[in-house]
Amino acid sequence: MAKADKAGGKTERPKPDGPAGKLVAIGEHVTQQIREGESPTIELTVRSLSNVVYDEDTQKLGVGDKTSERSFFNVAHAKKFLQTLEVAAIAKSLLDIGKHASLRDVFYMAKRTIPHTKVNVVDEQTESDKAIEDLEILTGSTREQLNINANKMGSVAGNVVIEDAGDMIDWSKLGSGGWSIPSNVESITFRKVSAKYVLYMEKAAVWERLHEDKFWLKQNCIIMSSQGQSTRGVRRLLQRLSTEHKLPIYVLTDNDPWGIYIYSVLKYGSISLAHMSDELAISDVRYLGVTSDDVERYKLERHYIKLTDKDLARLEQMANYDWFKDHAEWQRQFKLMKKAGAKVEIQSLSSRGITFISDVYLPEKIRKQEFID
Amino acid sequence: MAKADKAGGKTERPKPDGPAGKLVAIGEHVTQQIREGESPTIELTVRSLSNVVYDEDTQKLGVGDKTSERSFFNVAHAKKFLQTLEVAAIAKSLLDIGKHASLRDVFYMAKRTIPHTKVNVVDEQTESDKAIEDLEILTGSTREQLNINANKMGSVAGNVVIEDAGDMIDWSKLGSGGWSIPSNVESITFRKVSAKYVLYMEKAAVWERLHEDKFWLKQNCIIMSSQGQSTRGVRRLLQRLSTEHKLPIYVLTDNDPWGIYIYSVLKYGSISLAHMSDELAISDVRYLGVTSDDVERYKLERHYIKLTDKDLARLEQMANYDWFKDHAEWQRQFKLMKKAGAKVEIQSLSSRGITFISDVYLPEKIRKQEFID
């Protein structure tokens, strides 16, 4: 907090631009209130589900206009107010020295005892995580732009050359492993992008299958995966390829509610990060498979796995989301899955031969443009 | 199975070498028995815990000499016998076409219905996984050498150049992401290894910390991580760097029973893969931290996290493992952890400053050679 006050208090100094400048503005706002004898107060957009709205025009989740005030001289707010400013000071110091920290690091950096008390600024990581979300709203910057990273996961290969941290990296020349996607992709520069589309899949094992079959070379595309739900590094990388290079993103997941939700998060944004949809949601995402129709066409019924009660509840929930409930094709898919009472994994295609997915399934579906939008 | 019989039945053909040759030998052995009117039988080393032994000389876990027979004309054995031969045929076909499959792929490839019955060769992945373990024992080859891969995870950076799948890859020139470690590292060739040691850590976020601080450049080392328990790709990569390039491996984990077990698996092998210790266990692994002594020296007590009942039970179990029970230093560590009733995470070092781990903690510990062997 000391650092933020100091930076905010001296208006004659040249002000930093970008996220750092916005952090300084928060400090200035607070110190101004103090000088004028007012109770230091910040105004925040409400982030609970009640304020998450689906915008039909942009096709993205977003936050509504409900706001709440947080005041230092309100016993119920004082600690959260302090936490937000403490984390703002930490983010500012990270930006100043050009270093990045993980969410867990920020927790430990904020976990100091307030002098002359036995009270810690934060006791649990959820508290510093919430404060970071506050800052995302207050500054309009993603936490990655505040030099705070989530976890790193995922691999990529394809006809692309990037520049990152002073290195030129050719995604087509990285052997069987590919490039390991960092948690933060804000500072990479695309030097050459000759691929025609991006194929994103939820499973690392499927990525290795396609990579071994040189799918990206034959199809002139980019193949990318994380494992399970996409990391933020992956989402931003996909989003940058979509907006900066106009590449369509095709998503390949299991035919189950969880796989379809991976697609949903990529396209519409996620409920918990609705305030960041502009930076993270990608309108030009298309669902490639696996669909209920594929199950019939490629005779995968014998690989059906019975839906659990949890799967069924999730399916029901998905069918009622604002962005799915009037979508005829998705409603049809949900109905077919419910009728079958079963899900199917991507890898069941291996029963047709190990390279069936690369040689037949994907080229056929992409040629026929069999997507769900 | 058809393929294995065919390959095994024609002795005049040139026999393949290596793992494929060993698979053919299994087929020949079985067809020979059939020709001689005997019940087809294979002999397998028992893999249950009762047959896992710790070898004090080699300091590795291994399997004892208990064996069991599996006969086709024994109702209790028939299906497992079939599964083992089915998976042998799948592995042989993968080796023949030079393709790799994941454990899940192999499951789907084996999941066919036996003609004129309603019985599937396998119904659950655990069955094909067990059959793959059988083959590891029968052929003395890892499943990776049989072209069957586990999951892919992890990143690496450092002063190393490798050749893999026709590409030259410089681990020092891969930006902030690093090289994504494949699930199978059997076919990579080390072209230049000028690093002095390998630092392996359990957390991807700590890897990103050290990478941003150019720790591997300043220290001339290799930094490697997966997330949580090491994948087999990571273990084999570490093992190859240890045996082929005599690099010491330093392990950095949380100070808790799970972190110490990550070290234990790397050094001594794992109970479930005891039959593969020669290929996977690495004697020259040293535990670098975090230790209970570090907690005191670097004043991390305030970041103690209380041990749960599960943690305490695991600690007790670890202290009684053959390879730890007479190890004075580990017994001391276990006692200190139990006395504190608490664990400490690597990232608590961030409370001393974001680059404290790179600038002070690690260089100091490595210079003073403060390892646990």
pLDDT by residue (tens digit) across B6-44?
A: 444 444 556 677 899 999 999 999 999 999 999 999 999
Alpha helices in A98-168 (DSSP H): 103-110, 125-139
Helix (H) or strand (E) holding B342, with range, is: strand B342-343
For residues A311-330, average pLDDT: 94
Q: In what order do the strands lie in the sheet with A167-170?
A: A167-170, A160-164, A189-193
Q: Provide the 8-state DSSP code for A107.
A: H
Question: Do the chains contact at A105 and B175, CB–CB below 8 Å?
Answer: no
Give the number of beta-carbon pairs within 8 Å between A and B: 191
The residue among B128, B147, B180, B303 with the most chain A CBs within 10 A of its CB, best to mutate, is B180
Select the residue of B94, B175, B187 nearest A164 (Cβ to Cβ): B175
Do A356 and A213 touch, CB atoms closer than 8 A?
no
Window 76-105 of A: residues touching B by CB (8 A cutoff) are 94, 97, 99-102, 104-105
Cβ-based contacts of B102 with chain A (< 8 Å):
205, 208-209, 347
Q: How far apart are CA B140 and CA B63, in angstroms?
A: 12
Q: How close B372 comes to chain A (CA, Å)?
A: 26
Q: Is the pLDDT of residue A208 over 50?
A: yes
Q: Is the pLDDT of residue B183 over 90?
A: yes
Half-sphere exposure of A156 (CA within 13 A, CB side): 30
pLDDT at B12: 52
Q: Is the pLDDT of residue A250 over 90?
A: yes
Do B138 and B28 touch, CB atoms closer than 8 A?
no
DSSP string, A271-300: STTGGGHHHH--TTEEEEE--HHHHHHTT-
Q: CA B63, B64, B70: angle at the middle one, nearest 5?
A: 85
Cβ-based contacts of A300 with chain B (< 8 Å):
none
Question: Do the chains contact at B108 and A355, CB–CB below 8 Å?
Answer: no
Residue labelled with tokens 């207050």:
A138
Question: Do the chains contact at B169 and A174, CB–CB below 8 Å?
Answer: yes
The residue among A93, A105, A128, A227 with the most chain B CBs within 10 A of its CB, best to mutate, is A105
Q: Taking the CB of residue A341, how many other CB atoms lie within 10 A of it?
A: 11
Q: Is the pLDDT of residue A302 over 70?
A: yes
Question: CB of A164 within 8 Å of any CB in chain B?
Answer: yes
Mean pLDDT across chain B: 91
Comparing CA positions, the residue from B74, B24, B70 lying closest to residue B47 is: B70
Do A199 and A285 touch, CB atoms closer than 8 A?
no
Comparing CA positions, the residue from A358, A352, A356 lying closest to residue A215 is: A358
Cβ-based contacts of B190 with chain A (< 8 Å):
none
Domain edges within chain B: 2-149, 155-367
CA distances from B326 to A44, B319, B321, B323 (A): 58, 9, 9, 7
Q: How far apart are CA A289 and CA A251, in angstroms?
A: 7
pLDDT at B56: 86
Give the model confidence (pLDDT) of B60-117 as tens digits. Answer: 888 888 998 999 999 999 999 999 999 999 999 999 999 999 999 999 999 988 889 9
- Torsion sign, CA atoms A294, A296, A300, A303: positive
Q: How far apart are CA B107 and CA B124, in angstroms?
A: 7
Give the model confidence (pLDDT) of B139-181 as tens digits. Answer: 989 999 999 998 889 999 999 999 999 999 999 999 999 999 9
CATH no., domain B2-149: 1.10.10.10
Give the model confidence (pLDDT) of A125-175 as tens digits. Answer: 999 999 999 999 999 899 999 999 988 899 999 999 999 999 999 999 999
Question: Do the chains contact at B104 and A205, CB–CB below 8 Å?
Answer: yes
Q: Is B311 left (phi over 0), alpha (psi -120 to 50) or beta?
A: alpha
Residue A34 tokens read as 């103090």
Within 8 A by CB and 6+ apart from B308, the residues are none
Q: Provide the 8-state DSSP code for B65.
A: S
pLDDT at A270: 85
Question: Do the chains contact at A101 and B350, CB–CB below 8 Å?
Answer: yes
Question: CB of B347 within 8 Å of any CB in chain A?
Answer: yes
- What per-residue string of b and e applies to A81-106 under the rule 16 or more CB within 10 Å gives b? bbbbbbbbbbbbbbbeeebbbbbbbb
Q: Taking the CB of residue B262, how many other CB atoms lie within 10 A of it?
A: 21
Window 202-261 of A: residues touching B by CB (8 A cutoff) are 204-205, 207-209, 212-213, 227
pLDDT at B13: 57
Mean pLDDT across chain A: 91
3-state secondary structure of B344: strand
Cβ-based contacts of A104 with chain B (< 8 Å):
205, 345, 347, 350
Strand ranges in chain A using DSSP code E only, listed in sequence order? 41-45, 52-55, 60-63, 67-71, 101-102, 148-149, 155-158, 160-164, 167-170, 179-180, 189-193, 198-201, 222-225, 249-252, 285-289, 305-306, 342-343
Window 14-43 of A: residues touching B by CB (8 A cutoff) are none
Q: How confident is the model at residue A290 (pLDDT cuts 50, 70, 90)?
A: very high
Q: How close A105 comes to chain B (CA, Å)?
A: 6
* Pairing verdict, β A155-158 and A167-170: unpaired
* Pairing verdict, β A160-164 and A167-170: antiparallel
Q: Which residue of B has its CA nearest to A204?
A: B152
Q: CA B233, B238, B242: angle at the middle one, nearest 5?
A: 145
Within 8 A by CB and 6+ apart from A106, the residues are A87, A90, A91, A128, A132, A148
Q: What is the ipTM of this complex?
A: 0.87
Q: How far apart are CA B147 and CA A250, in angstroms?
A: 28
Cβ-based contacts of A347 with chain B (< 8 Å):
102, 104-105, 107-108
Cβ-based contacts of A94 with chain B (< 8 Å):
354
Residue labelled with tokens 């299958």:
A209
Do A355 and A362 touch, CB atoms closer than 8 A?
no
Give percent above pLDDT 90 in chain B. Answer: 78
- Point out which residues pair with B55 in neighbouring strands: B60
Q: Provide the 8-state DSSP code for B157.
A: E
Select the residue of A108, A164, A166 nearest B303 (Cβ to Cβ): A108
Q: Which residue of B has its CA nearest to A113?
A: B302
Give the model confidence (pLDDT) of B252-305 as tens digits. Answer: 999 999 999 999 999 999 887 888 888 889 999 999 999 999 999 999 999 999
Please measure the distance between the N-terminal and C-terminal CA atoms of chain B and give it in whole angstroms. Answer: 47
Select the residue of B152, B345, B355 nearest A99 (Cβ to Cβ): B355
- Point out which residues pair with A160 in neighbouring strands: A193
Cβ-based contacts of A178 with chain B (< 8 Å):
180, 182
Give percent above pLDDT 90 in chain A. Answer: 78
Architecture of domain B155-367: 3-Layer(aba) Sandwich (3.40)
Window 190-209 of A: residues touching B by CB (8 A cutoff) are 204-205, 207-209
Q: Taking the CB of residue B251, how many other CB atoms lie within 10 A of it?
A: 26
Q: How confident is the model at residue B47 (pLDDT cuts 50, 70, 90)?
A: confident
Question: CB of A152 within 8 Å of any CB in chain B?
Answer: yes
Integer Rg of chain B from CA: 23
Its pTM stands at: 0.88
Q: How far apart are CA A199 and CA A187, in angstroms?
A: 23
- Point out which residues pair with A170 in neighbouring strands: A161
Q: Is the pLDDT of residue B50 over 90?
A: no
Q: Which amino acid is at B130?
A: K
Question: Do the chains contact at A177 and B177, CB–CB below 8 Å?
Answer: no
Q: Which residue of A has its CA nearest to B182?
A: A177
Give the model confidence (pLDDT) of A337-351 as tens digits. Answer: 999 999 999 999 999
- Torsion sign, CA atoms A22, A23, A29, A35: negative
pLDDT at B228: 81
The residue among B93, B105, B188 with the most chain A CBs within 10 A of its CB, best to mutate, is B105
pLDDT at A93: 94
Q: How confident is the model at residue A63 (pLDDT cuts 50, 70, 90)?
A: confident
DSSP string, B239-285: HHHHHHH---EEEE--BSHHHHHHHHHHHH--STTGGGHHHH--TTE
Select the residue of B100, B149, B350 nearest A108 (Cβ to Cβ): B350
Q: How confident is the model at residue B341 (pLDDT cuts 50, 70, 90)?
A: very high
* Number of residues assigned to chain A: 373
Give the model confidence (pLDDT) of B123-142 as tens digits. Answer: 999 999 999 999 999 998 99
Q: How close A201 comes to chain B (CA, Å)?
A: 14
Please identify every residue of A annotated as catalytic.
108
Q: Taking the CB of residue A248, how many other CB atoms lie within 10 A of it?
A: 16
Question: Do the chains contact at B227 and A153, CB–CB below 8 Å?
Answer: yes
DSSP string, B193-219: E--S-EEEES-HHHHHHHHHTTHHHHH
Within 8 A by CB and 6+ apart from A10, the residues are none
Question: CB of B165 within 8 Å of any CB in chain A?
Answer: yes
Q: How far apart are CA A119 and CA B184, in angstroms?
A: 50
Half-sphere exposure of A22 (CA within 13 A, CB side): 15
Comparing CA positions, the residue from A263, A76, A241, A266 lying closest to residue A159 is: A241
Give the model confidence (pLDDT) of B302-315 as tens digits. Answer: 999 999 999 999 99
Select the residue of A99, A156, A212 nearest B354 (Cβ to Cβ): A99
